[in-house]
Chains A and B, each alone.
Chain A
């Protein structure tokens, strides 16, 4: 989207109207590859996928129409329904906690504490690890025979029980812990950058007026950081929807199907079950979910500006 927008500076330049097609030709030429990529790869392949989700394609894509059969089957599959529920739970908790913890950590670091650089590195470090490594490490930490449970038990609390990865009703929170551990550091850094961008004078003014620090944060600083929050939101949300590798590394969807997620369903159906049609139907549903969230947001965000 960004690539096709004309820079705002040009809009004011309306004194002599040349052919708008040739205006800023170099920039348009330069963005042509990206425009083509976007059209062919994103739009084209998305369309192809949607079309094939209405076919009975197995291992190879074939145009053998089956109508809405794949979707009917999809919504009658327990595993898909469990996946959706898991994604919703993981998404809501992950979004809230990442933002709250990320901002709190950033605000604390911003209070000019000692060893700030050391803390910042510690908090950011997990982000340098892939989800596969994160998942494996946390699989060990949460394993009742190796990790936290066995350590606490060896200290004498023999009835202590903590095995989220082997308990179907709480396994999603086990994933959440690992996800938060990995992701909050990055959000903290984004927030910290935002806080550093706040003019020192704002703080001085607040102090002169005698506004308490927490109130300054909530009423002044956070509203000023709106673009930073939007960025963080986009980063976190896209991470949530595509969550796949963490699950594969930590639980492989288990116990049973208790920690399955939609992306894993798509992959397994397409490649393991050799049922492309079903995988395409599931991925089309994922796209639809994203679009449903994105369109109202994009309308509010970009649509309003024209009426300024």
Chain B
């Protein structure tokens, strides 16, 4: 298939124009829904321009792909464009002048006016210049509840975190795992992040993550978070799976009551043929503080000597931000579009909840934007240890957390 398509594309290109370029695009969207989504971009690019999208998918998660991408750019073998999470991951690459300046296109197409929330574009901006094109918004702040598990236990589906905790003992009696949390470090870390926004509130969270104020970590709001996390690790101790989608599967099959996981879990429910509101419930912000963070993906365009490639890169940047591509991509991906002015009537219940929160301005920057990877990884090490070692007291974890925050830049 690929070779045939390649030959066709090649012949088509030679007959159309001599300025066509092959643009290699690297990303780590390899699961079913993700691959379908990125194919929409490829289609828009191949049809909308005379250039050719060369897919450079890297299997594995961002943690696997990111080092490969970065080392290729550093090693002088840059790809045409690459996915990265917007935030501080690429900061040094931009500072070193390895990424293309997109300010001209952004100004010509008025990105500033259409990108919502504006923090997305801020995350792409360094010293007033724009270096990346935001693609989508992924938020962590979701709890997914299995209707089947609650029916089996003869309970109503809870509508917020406190109700959920109250229902947990009866769920456990019915032989269900109350809270499914996969064994990988980032999952317990992410769940903790969600709990801290939902329980400590936006102000306390902002003070810690944006202002890096370690005194707030030791304050009463965060004490509650650590206590809640100690409860949560107790509720999740019977989850004997590693991957997040295996944990989601426990919720889908009704073996577990709930999972705290980002909106990408939605794809798993969709693949299993489940309907939001009927088979599962989604609670943004644990039903307590309805906010979502605005992490997500962005495309960066490494600097290239070849003027043809540079031209193609610019065309791709503008296509990625176009209304049509945004809608087609995000519907398949289950994420929210970065433009506030597109029509997403085809979205499901959970996506609509997310869109409404977005329209109401209930957003916070993602951890990726606020803190460096180094600090984020240290927090992750701390929380995964806390989560798995039940003798690690919440007070000690709180102190260690404050200590790491005090070192953040």
* A interface residues with partner B (beta carbon < 8 Å): 58-60, 77-79, 139, 143-145, 163, 166, 168, 251-258, 268-269, 271-275, 278
Q: State in angstroms the CA–CA spacing of A168 and B66 once bound together.
A: 29
Q: How far is the CA of A168 from the CA of B385 in the complex (A)?
A: 10
The B interface, classified by DSSP as helix, strand, loop or mixed, is: helix
Q: Are A59 and B184 in contact (CB under 8 A)?
A: no
Give Cα A268 to B384, complex, Å. 15
- B49 within 8 Å of A by Cβ? no
B374 pairs with A275, CB closer than 8 A: yes
Q: Which residue of B lies closest to A57 (CB)?
A: B92
Given A163-B240, A272-B63: A58 and B374 interface contact (C-beta under 8 Å): yes
Can you name 5 A-B residue pairings with CB atoms under 8 Å? A79-B381, A166-B183, A166-B240, A168-B388, A273-B378
Within 8 A of A (CB), among B349-396: 372-374, 376-378, 381-382, 384-389
CB B67 to nearest CB in A, in angstroms, measures: 4
Q: Given A272-B67, A272-B373, are A252 and B184 also a contact pair (CB < 8 Å)? A: yes
Which residues on B sit within 8 Å (CB–CB) of A139? 242
Min CB–CB distance A162 → chain B (angstroms):
12
Q: Which residue of A lies closest to B388 (CB)?
A: A256
Query: Which chain B residues border A268 with CB–CB below 8 Å?
Result: 377
A256 x B384 contact (CB < 8 A) = yes
Q: Are B374 and A254 in contact (CB under 8 A)?
A: no
Which residue of chain B has its CB nearest to the CB of A253?
Answer: B185
Residues of A within 8 Å of B89, CB to CB, are: 274
CB < 8 Å: which of B372, B382, B388 contacts A254? Answer: B388
* Residues 115 to 144 of chain B near chain A (Cβ within 8 Å): none
Q: What's the least CB distance linking A165 to chain B, in Å?
A: 8
Residues of B within 8 A of A58 (CB): 92, 372, 374
Chain A residues near B92 (CB, 8 Å)? 58-60, 274
Do residues A60 and B185 form an inter-chain contact, with CB atoms below 8 A?
Answer: no
Could you tell me if B66 and A272 are in contact, using CB atoms closer than 8 angstroms? yes
A77 to B67, CA, bound (A): 23
Give the distance in Å from the alpha carbon of A189 to the alpha carbon of B88 in the complex.
51
Given the complex of chains A and B, what is the CA–CA distance between A135 and B384 in angstroms?
21
Given A59-B93, A60-B92, A143-B240, A274 and B373 contact (CB-CB distance below 8 Å): yes
Verify if B70 is at the interface (C-beta below 8 Å from A): yes
Nearest chain-B residue to A267 (Cβ)? B67
* Minimum distance in angstroms from B251 CB to a CB of chain A: 16
Cβ-defined contact, B387 with A256, below 8 A: yes
Which residues of A lie under 8 Å from residue B91 when comparing CB positions?
A: 59
> Are B381 and A257 touching (Cβ within 8 A)?
yes
| Complex contacts, A144 vs chain B, CB 8 Å | 240
Residue among B183, B185, B242, B374 making CB contact with A273, cutoff 8 Å: B374
B96 within 8 Å of A (CB atoms)? yes
B74 beta carbon closer than 8 Å to chain A: yes
User: CA separation between A262 and B406, bound complex, in Å?
Assistant: 26
Chain A neighbourhood of B386, CB < 8 A: 256
CB distance from A49 to the nearest CB of B (A): 16
Most B C-beta atoms less than 10 A away, residue of A79, A257, A258, A274: A274
User: Measured between C-beta atoms, what is the minimum distance from A85 to chain B in Å?
Assistant: 14
Q: Evaluate whether A273 and B240 lie within 8 angstroms (CB atoms) in the complex, with A79-B381, A256-B385 already known.
A: no
Closest residue of B by beta carbon distance from A252: B184
A252 touches B67 (CB 8 A): no
Contact B242 A252 (CB under 8 A): yes
Q: Which residues of chain B in 63-105 are interfacial with respect to chain A, using CB atoms and an 8 Å cutoff?
A: 63, 66-67, 70, 74, 89, 91-93, 96
Are A255 and B183 CB-contacts (below 8 A) given A60-B92, A272-B66, A274-B92? yes
CB neighbours (8 Å) of B242 from chain A are: 139, 252, 254
Question: Is A252 a contact partner of B185 (Cβ separation < 8 A)?
Answer: yes
The 5 A-B residue pairs with the shortest CB-CB distance, nearest first, are A256-B388, A271-B67, A255-B388, A59-B92, A273-B377
A272 CA to B65 CA in the complex, in Å? 10
Complex Cα gap A145–B249 (Å):
14
A253: which B residues are within 8 A, CB to CB? 185
A274 CA / B84 CA spacing, docked (Å): 14
In the complex, A128→B96 CA distance in Å? 44
Known contacts A166-B183, A254-B184; A78 and B385 CB within 8 A of each other: yes
Assembled-state Cα–Cα distance A268/B70 (Å): 14
In the assembled complex, how far is the CB of residue B346 from the closest CB belonging to chain A, in whole angstroms? 36
* Residues on the B chain within 8 Å of A275, using CB: 373-374
Given known pairs A143-B240, A254-B185, A272-B67, the reply for A278 and B374 (CB within 8 Å) is: yes
Looking at the assembled complex, report how far the CB atom of B242 sits from the nearest CB atom of chain A, in whole angstroms. 7
A272 to B377, Cβ gap below 8 A? yes
A116 vs chain B, min Cβ distance (A) = 40
From known contacts A58-B374, A268-B377, A274-B373, infer whether A254 and B183 are also in contact, taking CB-CB under 8 Å: yes
B234: min CB distance to chain A, Å: 14
A255 to B91, CA, bound (A): 32
Task: Take A163-B240, A275-B374 as given contacts and tell me if A60 and B381 are in contact as well, using a CB distance cutoff of 8 Å.
Answer: no
Report whether B388 and A273 are in contact in the complex, using a CB–CB cutoff of 8 Å: no
Which residues 229-275 of B have a CB within 8 angstroms of A? 240, 242
In angstroms, Cα B236 to Cα A166, docked, is 12
Q: Specify which of A79, A139, A256 lies most central, judged by the most chain B CB atoms within 10 Å of its CB.
A: A256
